[in-house]
Structure 1
């Protein structure tokens, strides 16, 4: 029996209420982070790269690629769900058409219409939400949809480096395409290469994310006290991020005490941070899923001599970046400058490895925020050169770690984090 009395409702009232709510939702305007013109420009650049790579049809499945091209933002992509829920998310682009279509569960049609600029929505069969659903059923449905448009032929690109769909789903899609006579190839780099250099609009959003990240670190600095657990410190950081307009990111924003490696690749725990300890906030913040990063060492009380000296060394690597980096410079020359810098600071004589580098930042969804392009001071063979519009994090490490976000521009490198580059003391 119900614990509270059931409120009587006149017949028909519930149905009218639900119908009115659905109509009200349908009237809600789309909310896009960027203009439709920005998204169309991305589609044009993607189709140009498809032509260069010899791809006729491209099936985008990764959450970050879907968001980058269409604006779509969800939180359930079925990548690691029950076997009764195969992934049904994709956007399909054809070389000969300036329109794309979006496939999703019919239950998410309104979510697609509210968060994307795409008008051509194709609902997956409702049976794919039932107990007998299978990846093969979705693959067969997608194959029929492509064939009906004349797109199930030639060279078809898929994202083999995406976790969506999972391996079972990707195998089914590739088998379906091959069975229709298509040549299937991995187009992960086709998509990622177009996304690498950021537009002015994208950089503006990353700057907003950096402001939120910085606000979170300042709030952590304000709230931190000896005895606070790592999780409580993380909560203080996130409170500052959210208050400043930021969002949670694609990975856990770790606060951890002790040596940064391997602890910063773990998660925050309920371990208290004691007086005199040092810890790192190895964090990021996002706006519209675009990420910016920062890491600073903190000390519960005045920093020891070794912590102060190591902080000065890793902070100095940021100056090397600002002095050296310019558009057209081979990354291997920048890498050598970092190796020379750390050697001059005497780290080798102390048996400590100094390292600097970074990875591409941009729009990211769980489980990772690490973008495709990576660079590091140990690489003396890369042929990559610095390009305007590239945005990466910048990590400087010598036992301690200090991280920033760097935008490579025509005028040089620009660091976004506004916090001082030093160990931050916490005085109770």
Structure 2
């Protein structure tokens, strides 16, 4: 671990210094990570002739700058902090009183106090607030780029977007350039992904060791939470741990349900962990004390087969349509309760692309190409319609020039694979 002088000047103890010097940052050039990501966004903007983007999603602000502040709060209270990004200027409008949190980032040229244009902040004066916000932003965009600039927006309230358009800006969606930027990871960025996964695996191991009949789902789930926060992770994005009959169908949120003897316990991590990177893998355990039933083993082995077949077909240059054609065919009795995706991209959170099952591709799918640098989560949920239990498994991988690299290393359950 790098030495850290806790008696240093107070100015060294800002958010950036602590993040860059924390134990999970050892051996990672976080400045290079931040500059790469900023360059990715600008590259994708240039491809689409976008003069500026206004980012309000805290995940995307963090991607483009590295700056983190009250991510969940800001997702709910947008736009309470936002980033104006052009080809050569990056201005972060930080939440009131928090400007100091963005000091020192090489990705931010200027920090200003934000002006929240929301009903909560402005009440019945919201329309006036939106117009004033838009006028100020338009003047700044014209100063930095040109009149009638093309501006990408995301997650802004409708009145603000309408006001910007009425001022003569050409409004486009910022989602495409940002998602395409995020999809390709650098080698240095992958160190952050691996650090987040290793920390999350520590938490899942503690959860696995704590599992016993008589615990509530909430009690067991809290073990993972404690481990994530203890290791400087951020939060868990969903509540997906369930036991027994609550494992079928999937997506039943963790509750005060008591785990019974010999029940299956299924977990999807969905951890926004170290450096803000998503550690996303799924496992299903057996509560004991007896051995798993034949039906429980069958469900587990079928899910295991699906995940590993679909991992094995992944390759750089593969189209999304080719993936759908070659992916594992889900047996009819499990088809209705299938997971809604076959695989998906992952980075700071779940992201582009979505890869669909063969049967869903005609109506829901879209085409594209798997590229080196994409990180992909391969999914399986196996549970019969009307069945008592189900199994959730998932692996996280990296697409490389020569194939794939397995990123998630937590072991599977040997007792359930027999």
- Aligned-residue offset at 1:419: 2.6
What's the counterpart of residue 226 of structure 1?
213
Q: Counterpart in 2 of 1:268?
A: 254
1:288 partner SS: helix
Between the aligned partners of 1:351 and 1:150, the Cα distance in structure 2 is 52
Q: Matched residues in 1 for 2:177 and 2:247: separation?
A: 35
Match of 2:5 in 1: none
* 2:342 is the counterpart of 1:357: yes
Alignment partner of 2:53: what SS?
strand
Tell me the SS of whatever aligns to 2:266: strand
1:279 corresponds to: 265
CA–CA distance in structure 2, aligned partners of residues 41 and 94 of structure 1: 16
CA distance in 2, matches of 1:125, 1:282: 37
Q: 1:175: how far off?
A: 2.8
| SS at structure 1 position matched to 2:269 | strand
Deviation (angstroms), 1:152: 5.1
TM-score (norm 2): 0.80
Other-structure match for 1:46: 41
Check the 8 A contact 2:95/2:114 in 1, yes or no. yes
Q: For residues 45 and 224 of structure 2, what CA distance do their matches in structure 1 show?
A: 42
1:55 aligned onto 2:41? no
Instruction: Extract unaligned runs of 5+ from structure 2.
Output: 1-8, 21-28, 384-390
| Alignment partners' CA distance in 2, 1:259 and 1:208 | 32
- Residues 22-70 of structure 1, C-alpha deviations (whole Å, 9 max, x = no match): xx65453533665434433333332232222121222122111100110
Larger radius of gyration: 1
363, 373, 386: which one pairs with 1:389?
373
Secondary structure of residue in 1 paired with 2:140: helix
Unaligned runs of 5+ in 1: 1-23, 365-369
- Asked whether the 8 Å contact 1:325–1:412 carries over to 2, the reply is yes
1:6-405 mapped onto 2 (5 Å cutoff): 25-28=10-13, 30-31=16-17, 35-75=30-70, 77-81=73-77, 87-95=79-87, 98-113=88-103, 117-124=107-114, 134=126, 135-136=129-130, 137-149=132-144, 151=146, 153-159=148-154, 162=155, 165=156, 167=157, 171-243=158-230, 246-262=233-249, 264-285=250-271, 286-301=273-288, 302-340=291-329, 342=330, 347-348=331-332, 357-364=342-349, 370-378=350-358, 379-380=360-361, 382-399=366-383, 400-405=391-396
Residue-pair matches, total? 378
SS at match of 1:394: strand
2:403 alignment counterpart: 412
What TM-score do you get using the length of structure 1 for normalisation? Answer: 0.78
* Cα pair 1:297 1:424 within 8 Å, conserved: no
Q: Root-mean-square deviation (CA), in Å?
A: 3.1
Give the Cα separation in 1 of the matches to 2:122 and 2:324: 54
Using the alignment, how far apart are the partners of 1:253 and 1:114 within structure 2? 37
Cα displacement (A) at 1:119: 3.1
Relative to structure 1, the CA distance from residue 50 to residue 126 in structure 2 (aligned partners, 3 Å threshold; closer, same or farther) is closer
